[in-house]
Amino acid sequence: MKNQYFSRRKFITATTALAAFSSMSFATNNKPLNAVRTEGSEREGLLPEKMTVGMVVFEGFQLLDTFGPLEMFGSLRDEVQIVIIGEKKGAVKSSAGPAVVVEYDFADAPKLDIVMIPGGGGTRREVNNPVFISAFKLLAQATPHVASICTGAAVLARTGLLDGVKATTNKRAFKWATSQGPNVKWIAQARWVEDGRFFTSSGISAGTDMALALIARLFGQDTAVRIANGAEYGWNNDPHHDPFAKLNGLVD
Amino acid sequence: MKNQYFSRRKFITATTALAAFSSMSFATNNKPLNAVRTEGSEREGLLPEKMTVGMVVFEGFQLLDTFGPLEMFGSLRDEVQIVIIGEKKGAVKSSAGPAVVVEYDFADAPKLDIVMIPGGGGTRREVNNPVFISAFKLLAQATPHVASICTGAAVLARTGLLDGVKATTNKRAFKWATSQGPNVKWIAQARWVEDGRFFTSSGISAGTDMALALIARLFGQDTAVRIANGAEYGWNNDPHHDPFAKLNGLVD
């Protein structure tokens, strides 16, 4: 799907990145969807005219997998709101130590437009956590755009939703990650892979390039380039440019 | 200074990145230095044989400024421990919305080997916050290596510690940031600048390249390359390669 936002949003994106860059406004106090469901038809706290991007985290998530993509979406502050989702609310530690605050558990998660899942050492535990897998599967089924970064693809593969879908994952952990989804059409050499509503990226830093590709798909190429330039980021915007497949012996 | 860690640590870094990559161990429960000072000569919780990297955050910090560098240092899990420091403990929101957990306030901050400060919209407030500036100045004075990312250089400049020092900052916000330190030797075209114990980077994503340069300085070039490759990161390892100075009209 080329999605419902593109045409409506296209005309207002030209000035968004610059405005967001100089803005000091922060995300407002989001409230859970469940509370709103009993109160009315509108989501309270979350603004219905904004696109909602949800990042699903777990103990031992990888920092750059998570915050590289969110940096890029965060530049669209007038168009996008970001929520952090996990199995439990509260502080969740990354593999490097620093903790992020989970605002929503799976039961309370608002309706999303994009759901993303990072990699990290914690994926080794979560692929064997049926509660996490089934809750994440429900969320991904209900969300128009689904993205994974690094070994987050292993968790996504365990939901079964990637069966028959082209996808990629971390190159150093390729064997382990791909073993979690024997029916996925894994691609060894790719910075990221887009297949229908699924975007999957290679390891760690590749998620940032993929996020810009997803932004290009939803908001236009010019917006993605402007965001990359605003972040002084040398965007690898070629999904086929992946020197790390060869470096890790996955291709000749 | 070429610092006290280099020779001692160099021999054990060869296997560190690979070991860290497959490890699932997390940072242990750190305890404040102040508590330990009254209890004994060793820092409790924090491991004295590890290098301690402190990231100073504030409401409205920039996500990638903060977590790009910490991703790279986080790969040295057997050698480095990361702490998050702020004016108050607890959740602190980024400019994009997601919040990080501050473990230490300035008074409780442990002795650091490296202190870093990110940019973000919140710098516009903190440059005029004398409590923050003086506490950050004390911390930076007591720390061997001091680094800023993006407009974090504006906050660092307001301490006076950069006077007479070569430094750089965000290219789009260059005029504002440099106005915070009229006696700093600002360099318009640089991915990052190293001058003695100070490392300062250009905007947002440049901090990741600078962090790898700082890792190369402390742990050796091979270690920095191995960490970049492990993160599937195309490291811009040339401090003079900065196309964003021209893009923003700072050089011809």
Query: How far apart are the C-alpha atoms of A169 and A153, rounded to whole Å?
Result: 6
Confidence of residue B9 (pLDDT cuts 50, 70, 90): very low
Q: Which whole number is the average pLDDT over A9-34? A: 34
Instruction: Tell me how far apart the terminal alpha carbons of chain B are, to the nearest angstrom.
Output: 34
A98 touches chain B (CB under 8 A): yes
Please give the ipTM for the structure prediction.
0.83
Cβ under 8 Å to A: B residues 184-213? 202-206, 208
A14 touches chain B (CB under 8 A): no
Q: Which whole number is the average pLDDT over A242-249? A: 95
Residues of B in contact with A77 (CB under 8 A): 95-96
Top residue of B52, B64, B172 to mutate, by most chain A CBs within 10 Å, is B64
Which percentage of chain A shows pLDDT scores above 70? 82
Q: Which whole number is the average pLDDT over B120-149? A: 98
Contact A26 B59 (CB under 8 A): yes
Chain A's closest residue to B95, CA to CA, is A26
B86-100 residues labelled b (16+ CB within 10 A) or e (exposed) = bbeeebbbbbbbbbb
Lowest mean pLDDT of B42-46, B126-130, B233-237, name the range: B42-46
Which percentage of chain A shows pLDDT scores above 90? 80
Q: How many Cβ contacts (< 8 angstroms) between chains A and B?
A: 159
Rounded to the nearest angstrom, the gap between the alpha carbon of residue A120 and the centroid of all alpha carbons in its chain is: 14
Between strands A198-201 and A192-195, the pairing is antiparallel
Q: Are B206 and B239 a contacting pair, CB within 8 Å?
A: no
CA distance A174 to chain B (A): 12
Q: Which is more confidently placed, B137 or B9? A: B137
B144-181 residues labelled b (16+ CB within 10 A) or e (exposed) = bbbbbbbbbbbbbbbbebbeebbbbbbbbbbebbbebb
* DSSP result, B104-143: EEGGGPPP-SEEEE--STTHHHHTT-HHHHHHHHHHHHT-
Query: Across all residues in chain A, what is the average pLDDT?
Result: 86
pLDDT digits (tens, 9 = 90+) for A28-61: 333 333 332 323 334 457 877 899 999 999 999 9
pLDDT at residue A79 is higher than 60:
yes
* Residue that the structure tokens 């230095």 belong to: B33
Lowest mean pLDDT of A181-185, A191-195, B47-51, B59-63, name the range: B47-51
Q: Which whole number is the average pLDDT over B125-131? A: 98
CA distance B37 to chain A (A): 23
pLDDT digits (tens, 9 = 90+) for B204-217: 999 999 999 999 99
Task: Return the pLDDT at A100.
Answer: 98
Rounded to 10 degrees, what is the CA torsion of A121, A122, A126, A129?
Answer: 120
Contact A70 B96 (CB under 8 A): yes
Contact B27 A96 (CB under 8 A): yes
pLDDT at residue B119 is higher than 50:
yes
Q: Which whole number is the average pLDDT over A4-14? A: 37
A236 touches chain B (CB under 8 A): yes
* Phi, psi dihedrals of residue B167, rounded to the nearest 5°: -155, 165
Contact B232 A96 (CB under 8 A): no
Lowest mean pLDDT of A9-18, B64-73, B110-119, B145-154, name the range: A9-18
pLDDT at residue B11 is higher than 50:
no
Task: Return the pLDDT at B13.
Answer: 37
Residues of A in contact with B122 (CB under 8 A): 24
B122 touches chain A (CB under 8 A): yes
pLDDT at residue A15 is higher than 50:
no
Task: Return the pLDDT at B42.
Answer: 40
Chain A's closest residue to B59, CA to CA, is A26
pLDDT digits (tens, 9 = 90+) for B14-72: 333 333 333 333 333 333 333 323 233 344 568 778 999 999 999 999 999 999 999 99
pLDDT at residue A81 is higher than 90:
yes
Chain A's closest residue to B96, CA to CA, is A74
For residue A45, which of A29, A56, A61 has the smallest C-alpha distance?
A: A29
A215 touches chain B (CB under 8 A): no
Residues of B in contact with A210 (CB under 8 A): none
The SS3 assignment for A21 reads helix
B82 → closest Cβ in A55, A98, A101: A98
Contact A204 B97 (CB under 8 A): no
* Phi, psi dihedrals of residue B222, rounded to the nearest 5°: -60, -40
Question: B53 pairs with which residues across the strands?
Answer: B82, B114
Residues of B in contact with A234 (CB under 8 A): 205, 234, 236, 243
Contact A204 B84 (CB under 8 A): no
Chain A's closest residue to B236, CA to CA, is A234
Contact A77 B55 (CB under 8 A): no
Task: Return the pLDDT at B173.
Answer: 96
For residue A85, which of A64, A68, A61 has the smallest C-alpha distance?
A: A61
The domains found in chain B, sorted by start residue, are 6-37+44-247 (3.40.50.880)
